[in-house]
Chain A
Amino acid sequence: MINRSRTNTPLQALTLLNDPAYVEIGVGLAKRLATRGLNSEMTDRERIAYAFRLCVAREAKPVEIDHLTRVFEQELKYFQDHPQAAQKLIAADDRPEGVGASRMAAWLYVANILLNLDETITKG
């Protein structure tokens, strides 16, 4: 029995992290999350649970949601305190109506993390 050769190299990591195509996918996911239930009662924690399911195709465990919510809140605070950093990261075209650059930047963080998870890549 010969297994299919596995791609698990630093080159793959760099591609998923920095290839403009994957960065665009990250921005796309961030937009989707930032605008999800925008004028409803939906919480960011719920958006994170949704995002996790989109990427990994299973419900997130509480520890996973806790971690990502903490990251989101931390980054949101950072970008609110440093709006210029957020504007550098998020082009004007990528800021949906009703969502500021800071929120988009924080969502991009979450999207980037989710799209690089082993489970997202392997669906395993």
Chain B
Amino acid sequence: MNAHLQQLLNYTRREFFQRAGMGVGGAALTTLLANDLQAALPTAANPMAARKSHFAPKAKNVIFLHMVGAPSHLDLYDAKPKLQELDGELVPDKLWEGLRLAFIREQPKLMGSPFAFRQQGEAGLPISELMPHLGSVSDELCMIHSLKTDHFNHAPAQLFFQTGFSRFGRPSLGSWVNYGLGSENSNLPGFVVLITGNVAGAGNSLWGSGFLPSIYQGVEFRSSGDPVLFLSNPKGMTGEDRRRIIDSVNHLNQVQLADVGDPEIATRINQYEMAYRMQSAVPELMDISNEPKHIHEQYGTQPGKASFANNCLLARRLVERGVRFVQLFDQGWDHHGSIVKSLKNKCRQVDQPIAALISDLRQRGLLDDTLVVWGAEFGRTPMVQGDRKAPGRDHHKDAYTVWMAGGGVKRGFAYGKTDDIGFNVAENPMHVNDFHATLLHLLGMDHERLTFKFQGLDMRVTGVAGNVVPDIIA
């Protein structure tokens, strides 16, 4: 874009703000006015204020567990006796012809799961022996065996799964949800991210706000050491000192906002207020040492130690305090080789805490309001990758399993089916766009009405696609 055009665009924007004539606070609102959430517009004074959804919600909060790298659905949830039978045989020619995989290049052999499946609970959902604790709460789960995605490389697939778009620049689910619903807790961010292991390949765009105002972006808490750095005031500075300094900073920023009308300044003012409130709210939130012994035993948590278990317990504490969207990322599920050993290890880290989270939420009466989602960017191939002595599985986009629990989904329910070897969806396919539409629906939002005007379009998380899947809703 040439400089002159840029200048014109800027002029138009400023002029727009001036004419909006709603004073200082109105400036930030103007970008939000374009949306069609008529019942509940975010306001500039408090863009995070709790708002009404389009219709009565089933769930108020979301805890989204993303297993980064993509675990094998065929070894955890999607039991395939036929695949077992065909173990060691070449993948059928008709499937192999024209097939593109991320890594496998030679026509590969099929691999049955080396793990046994068990049916626990009344519904008898088969769950791998690697997840015995999860099996014990399987009656709470709504398994979706027929998810399909468009991408088989990690970063684009992660972006697609979290933002509905495979490239950078789109708001994440948590941002959309906070934009639509606001937050129930003014002392904590409405969208908190907790990570174990390295950050996923797609980076912090997975919790970015894209074109939405940046007030809606996820806030990452550190998993080891202090969860949030620099909460303490400098030596000798009192809380009142800090309050007065922030008052002055915000006053001068208001002067600037009135002059140039950049909504990002309104966001900054709100973020300084949030920072001040977090100084007292976060230490209380993150101190899990006060939790009773039985809770620590249930989750397998150790105060002060970075772990997925600690993050699960924190997720419960966050939703308990009204945080709208809690996103956990756990890295290390990309098992191209040595799947037997690696998957066992990973499951040992997450199985008990996830089951504990579900039971704990249920016991506290929070599970009805909280949608727990377990998923990944894609699944893994029924075909073996690499050495048969230390076999692995490649990336697979055409069919995989995710599950939900609580928040208005059916309990002890399985939706969709894959074919005999778990390669393609055989019944009730659910595309990632449908999954997003359904998730928003559970929160009381219509994915076609949750829009934001950007580049002349009414942008949605589902693009121009997506259908709610009513069959999984209780």
Contacts and interface: CB of A to CB of B under 8 A. Distances in A.
Contacts of B275: 10-11, 13-14, 17
A115 to B, nearest CB: 9
A54 B251 CA distance: 19
A60 to B, nearest CB: 9
B259 to A, nearest CB: 8
B204 interface: yes
A9 B217 CA distance: 8
Contacts of B235: 88-89
* Most chain B C-beta atoms within 10 Å of own C-beta, residue among A7, A11, A12, A15: A11
Contacts of B3: none
Contacts of A98: none
Contacts of A15: 229-230
Interface stretch (A28-36, A37-45, A116-124): A116-124
A88 B237 CA distance: 8
Interface in B393-439: none
Nearest to A122: B264
Interface of A: 1-3, 5-15, 17-20, 23, 61, 63-64, 67-68, 71, 85, 88-90, 109, 112-113, 116-119, 121-122, 124
Contacts of B238: 85
A112 B242 CA distance: 10
B249 A117 contact: yes
Nearest to A88: B236
A85 B239 CA distance: 13
Contact of B272 (A7, A13, A124): A13
B274 interface: yes
B219 A3 contact: no
Given A11-B219, A89-B236, 13 more contacts: A5-B204, A9-B271, A13-B268, A13-B275, A18-B233, A18-B234, A20-B234, A85-B238, A89-B235, A90-B236, A109-B241, A112-B245, A116-B245
Nearest to B203: A5
B369 to A, nearest CB: 25
A64 B205 CA distance: 36
B274 A10 contact: yes
Contacts of B205: 5
Contact of B208 (A5, A64, A90): A5
Contacts of B455: 1
B212 to A, nearest CB: 11
* Most chain B C-beta atoms within 10 Å of own C-beta, residue among A1, A3, A19, A118: A118
B86 to A, nearest CB: 45
Contacts of B189: 9-10
Interface residue tally of chain B, by bracket?
A: 35 or more
A8 B230 contact: no
A113 B211 CA distance: 29
Contacts of B256: 117-119
B136 to A, nearest CB: 37
A124 B251 CA distance: 17
A118 B253 CA distance: 6
Given A23-B234, A61-B255, A10 B248 contact: no
Contacts of A19: 229-230
B230 A6 contact: no
25 contacts: A1-B1, A1-B455, A2-B167, A3-B169, A5-B204, A6-B264, A8-B268, A8-B271, A9-B189, A9-B214, A9-B271, A10-B271, A11-B228, A14-B279, A18-B232, A63-B255, A68-B248, A68-B252, A85-B236, A113-B252, A116-B272, A117-B253, A117-B256, A118-B256, A121-B268
B231 A18 contact: yes
Contacts of B228: 11, 14
B129 interface: no
A2 B205 CA distance: 12
B267 A8 contact: yes
Contacts of A10: 189, 219, 271-272, 274-275, 278
A35 B215 CA distance: 39
B360 interface: no
Contacts of B233: 17-18
Kindly list the 5 A-B residue pairs having the minimum CB-CB distance in the complex, ordered from nearest: A89-B236, A88-B236, A13-B275, A18-B230, A2-B169
Contacts of B232: 18
B45 interface: no
A67 B229 contact: no
Contacts of A7: 214
B160 to A, nearest CB: 16
Interface string B257-289: 000101011011001101100110000000000
